Amino acid sequence: MPEIALDSFDLAILKILQKDNATPQRTIGEAVNLSAPAVQRRIRRMEEAGVIAANCAIVDPAKVGRPITIFVEVEVISETAELIDAAKAEFSAAPEVQQCYYVTGEADFILVIVVATMADYEALTRRLFFGNNNVKKFRTFVAMDRVKVGLTVPL
């Protein structure tokens, strides 16, 4: 994807889109002093460059029957490129895994998981961790309250 320089108009557009991706381009244009076609061109350019990675709805997990959010630190035995890539693929393929980060420090991965019940989480641990010969150990943290959740990038 091509690298692009973002100007103040682009940043202003991104701020609006991060709050409400469904904001009409005409409304965005009025807010940033550009025409709707100019806004459309800038959005398209940022999508093509990967600045805007996706356009999606943010769903409240509890409202769709997944009220439990769990954070898991995973430590692997061997960090060969092949085994790390296999872990990334396995974690990414699990629909319960909302986010997966390959990190530095004591843990090798941090996962954010949403499930309906603790029984569902136990089944997932058997599949992802106990069933994986390269997982040395994992540590679970159950969220008691969703204080702040989002992927908004400060601009």
Mean pLDDT of 130-137: 95
pLDDT of residue 125 exceeding 80: yes
CA angle at residue 102 from 88 to 123, to 5 degrees? 55
Closest by Cα among 127, 136, 138 to 93 = 127
Distance CA 3, CA 12 (A): 19
Q: Looking at residue 16, which CATH number applies to its domain? A: 1.10.10
Full-prediction pTM beyond 0.75? yes
Instruction: Report residue 139: phi and psi, to 5°.
Output: -130, 135
What is the residue range of 43's domain? 8-48
- Asked if 65 and 44 sit in the same domain, the reply is no
- The confidence score (pLDDT) of residue 63 equals 96
- Asked if 42 and 65 sit in the same domain, the reply is no
24-33: per-residue pLDDT in tens? 999 999 999 9
